[in-house]
Structure formats: structure tokens, C-alpha cells
Chain A
């Protein structure tokens, strides 16, 4: 049974008399103890899904879903207070841009200590509690791989390098000991060594604490090495979803195949100095979304039926939405 289960999530942005479906019937589920990768180009709606899960969308956007449940509870039906309780203890989010997601006028230590749930803090008097808070903060900071806690806990966000900021965001997410961590592109703009550190940290947390992770990224190489399953997103539609190894070995959707082909490290047969295969064109803007399958105009296999949105089809636990999937011709 999945912890987070989202079915047919649709997000409509209404401005004036036009409405744009930024997310169109997105399906996503995260089982307990797994690392689920959410992959897609920039502008495919990955961050929107993250915002939708943590309830940070502007109220004028219409969010509808057949099912959006967290451990059996309907997330959309919760009151603000209950929703906050879930976000405080069970789901933690690491946002894309650490510098912008940290309060510029407070020190990192204050912000980290603020995220510690009161239940974790022992001590009768406020100074004992403050001391214990500080201890928790320091140990959490050490856990994410920041050594100079004395320096960084009293620093302001503008004084730290961005990878430390990112690690701090992770520390703030982990300090409440959540059961699901949503990491929205946590390794963006990092140098490879730091990136590896962060990814290793995620894998370790997943193995030792059975922390489930929803890993949002477009860095295929990072994802392939650590995640168990993957959901591919294109222009606000879920394209394909399934176990990582199945998807890697045999993608069923043309877009997944194009995505995997465009990463050189997955292509062992690529001749030197040859062009990487890529799809023509670029991802459509929200104002000019094609009808039906949104990949249509770029898809090498597109035919007349593609103007109708394809149904979700399923082979075991591998789902895809395509009228002409890649395995058809082989059958």
C-alpha cells in the first residue's frame, strides 16, 4: 500500500476567462521505504506537483484529484490545522533554491531550531530546552555533512555558499524525522563531489531509517543510480511510470526512450563524435499546449488517434499513456 497516492491530479490556472491545465491527470504514488524519482524537463510541472502536495499553491488555482491521500487520509479534505500537523511531522520538503527558501534576516541556527518539533525537546525549564534544542541542531547539521557547525549555525543565509545552504535545507527537513522527504531538485548547480555526498546521504537515510524519498530532478544519472522507481512527466501529463530497472531496460513510451537516449551515459553503443538523438522542437509553453497527447507534435510515432488523450495502460506495475507504445511493433 503506497503512503502517498495521487490519482488524476489536475491543476487549472484560471486567469480571466481562460483556464490552463498546468497538470493534466497526473498519477503518482510513493510506497513506504522507496525512492521514487519524478523526472521531466524544466516546465513540465514537477515543482507544481511538489507545491500541490505540500499545499503551497495560490488559492486561486483550482486543484482537483480523484484521490490524493496520505496514509489513507485525504489530503485535500484536511483542515488547515491537520494539514499543518502532517507537514510538520510526516512530510518534509527540500525546495529548489536554498538561498531564497531561507529567511534572510534570521541566522541558520534559529531557523533550524525553529523546525524542531516540541515533542523532541527535553527539559523542564526554557534554558534546558534551549540547550537541548541546540544539541539537536548541532547533531543534525553534522549528519548532513556540515563540519563547522559553530560557524554556520550563527551565519546568515547570504554568508554561506549555496551547497551548504542546500545541506541546511536538508537538515531542516530531516530534523522533524519525517517519513517522506520530498526533494525538489536538491542537487541543482552543485559540483559533482558535493552532489555525490548528498545523493549518498539520501541513499543512506533511505536504507537506515527507511525514509521514503520523492526525488524530483532532471539529472538522469543521479536518479538512475539511487532510485527504485521512476515517474516521467511531460508538459503536465504523466507519461510513464514503473520500476527503474524496467524503465531503463525497456521504455514503452517514445518520450521516455528519447529521454534515456539523450543521456550519453546510458548509451554504450554510441559511436564516437556522433550526434545524440534528440526530439525535434522544445517543450510547449503553457499557453500553447497541444490537445490530446501533449507530446504529439514532437513524437516520431504520432498518428491521427494521438489528438485524443491516451488512456493509462498497465502491464504489471508498469503504467504508460500512449496510443502507439514501443512494444507494439515487437508483438
Chain B
């Protein structure tokens, strides 16, 4: 167990290291001045420039610069945005939780709807209900997310007028960002009508969550259905049936776990797609998340923001992926055989 944890921590740290090297390299690769790309501060005169060069060790060799850069990252000094002049750490601190919140609800939706639906379709494979579930999920999966989100806006916001077009919460509510998660922040804010604010937040959440979640749900349904059908044809299910076990018992004891094990790593891959989708949807709904923020940064050629934003998003993706993989490693007993010799 400790060995597994150590193994995964090393993997995590090494991957982060590669990412920071990449992000550091971006300061050199982006057009313009390295100093400006790295700090986000435009020096006013040569003296200030000299001082900054010394402060960021830019007068020494690349390795020293990088080590200093690592130290800066760790201590929270991520540079300043070109466009707003604010500390990037604070900006990301506000934008990142919004994205995490949106992705979390989308994952929740995918798990709560996708897993039961996938199991149902797999158990009733090739029946009418399975075929309709499958057709629906293939259709949803094939729709591009930006188009899907626009259709949702068209129907629910413009035609039916039951959900707001954009934003996170009505501007009438003054919610200071504490945790960054809107629902938690509402609970922590004093002097507002919490019920009303909650309802407003939920109505703002509904469409973007549905847009991101539907596609993830569709892929989860397809993965689980395929896996259940595979497991159903395995000899050990036949053997269990020949021992006279009941259908429910076979399903609960032998199908659920065995169907879930092979697709957990595939779900980890879905995380990348999910966050990409979330970033696209954020732009469409003007959701103040990291995707929206990065797109603005691209428009304004805000190189320090791009450099740190890339690092932040990829760190999120990698942490989630490694966590899921670790979880899978811990619950799947047969993974051990690839690490040790078998009898």
C-alpha cells in the first residue's frame, strides 16, 4: 500500500516537474521580452529592469532561473497579468473553482445518470430499451458541445425564457468569493436571502452543467454498457449461473465490480474531454471560469496569464487522472499480477 502511494506520488511529482519546465520554456518561446513574459511587469526604465533581472535571476544561467521559478511558483508569486495588472494567483484562485464547480456537477450528473443507465442497457443488451438508450447516447456524444450549448440557450433561454443566458448568479446578489464555489459562498454570505440566491444560482448552473454533463453521461453510458456486455459473456458468469445463483446475486456480486474495473482508466481519460468541454461551455455562457479566462488571455496576448493558466489547468487534469488511476489500482486486485511474477 505504502509502496503504491510512493510510486504514484513520484509519478505525480515528475509529471508536474515536466509541466513546470514546459511552462518556464513558454516564457522564452512566446514572442516579446522574456522578463515581461515571466513576470508580467513592464519595466519603466533601465534601472527597474536591472533590478527585476536580478530579482528573477535572469542574469544567471537557465538552470538557476528555473530553480528560482519553481520557488516563485511554490511561494505563490505567479506573476502579474498584462491586461488587468492583477496578481495571477488571485485571478486563477477565482476562476479555477468556478470551473471545478461546473465540472464537478457535470461528473456528478454523468455518474448518477450514466452508470445506472449503462448497467441497465448492458443487462438488457440488444433489447428495445437498450437500443434506444444506446441510440440516444451515440447521438448526444456526436453533437459538438458548442453547438449543443447554443441550442440549449436558444430553446431554454431565448424561446422558453426559463433559464438565464449567461453568468453565474444575478448581479443583484453581492456574493464575496471566499471559497470560490458559488453554492458554498452563498451559504457563507450574510445579509442576503439565501433561498432566493440559491435558486438563482441553480438556474444559472442548470444549462452549462447539462451541456457539459450530457456528453460525459453519453460516453459513460457507452463505456459501461460495452463493459457489462463483455463481462456477461465471461466464463465465470456462466459458471456462476450454473451454480444456480440468482440473477440479482450474479449482477451484484460478479457483474458490477468486474464491469467497472476495466473502464475506470478510460473514465480518467474522459476527464480531459470533460474539462475541455467545460472550458468551451464557459465561454458560451460567460461563466467566470478558467476556460473563459484563458480565452480572454489569448485574445489579449496576455502571455504570463497563458503560461500560468496552462500550468494550472494541466495540474488539475493530471491530479484527477492520477487520483482515479490510484483508486483503480487500490480496488483492483488483479492489477498486482503485472507488478509481480505470477505463480
Q: Nearest CB to that of A162 among chain B residues?
A: B343
Chain B, 2-30, contact with A by CB distance < 8 Å: what is the 0/1 string? 00000000000000000000000000000
Q: Among the listed A85, A93, A104, A106, which residue makes an inter-chain contact with B239, where contact means beta carbons less than 8 Å apart?
A: A93
Asked if A315 is an interface residue, CB under 8 A from chain B, the answer is: no
Chain B, 240-255, contact with A by CB distance < 8 Å: what is the 0/1 string? 1111111001000110
What's the tally of chain A residues with a CB closer than 8 Å to chain B? 34
Q: How far is the CA of A97 from the CA of B258 in the complex (A)?
A: 18
Q: Which parts of B317-343 form the interface with A (CB within 8 Å)?
A: 332-334, 336-337, 342-343
Contact A95 B253 (CB under 8 A): no
Contact A100 B254 (CB under 8 A): no
Q: Which parts of B236-275 form the interface with A (CB within 8 Å)?
A: 236, 238-246, 249, 253-254, 257-258, 261
Contact B239 A88 (CB under 8 A): no
Stretch of A152-160, A191-199, A213-221 on the interface side: A152-160
What's the tally of chain B residues with a CB closer than 8 Å to chain A? 25
Contact B243 A115 (CB under 8 A): yes
- Chain B nearest CB from A122 CB (Å) reads 21
Task: Determine chain B's interface SS by DSSP, over half rule.
Answer: helix
Q: How far is the CA of A158 from the CA of B261 in the complex (A)?
A: 15
Residues of A close to B244: CB separation below 8 A: 84-89, 176
A103-B240 in contact given A156-B333, A158-B334, A159-B343 (Cβ < 8 Å): yes
- Chain A nearest CB from B341 CB (Å) reads 11
Residues of A close to B332: CB separation below 8 A: 105
Asked if B235 is an interface residue, CB under 8 A from chain A, the answer is: yes
Q: How far is the CA of A84 from the CA of B202 in the complex (A)?
A: 50
Chain B, 284-322, contact with A by CB distance < 8 Å: what is the 0/1 string? 000000000000000000000000000000000000000
10 A-B contacts, Cβ less than 8 Å apart? Answer: A56-B242, A100-B235, A102-B236, A103-B236, A105-B333, A106-B254, A114-B249, A158-B336, A159-B342, A173-B243
Interface residues of B (CB under 8 A from A): 234-236, 238-246, 249, 253-254, 257-258, 261, 332-334, 336-337, 342-343
Q: Besides A56-B241, A110-B253, 10 other CB < 8 A contacts?
A: A88-B243, A88-B245, A95-B242, A100-B234, A104-B334, A105-B261, A114-B249, A158-B342, A159-B336, A159-B337
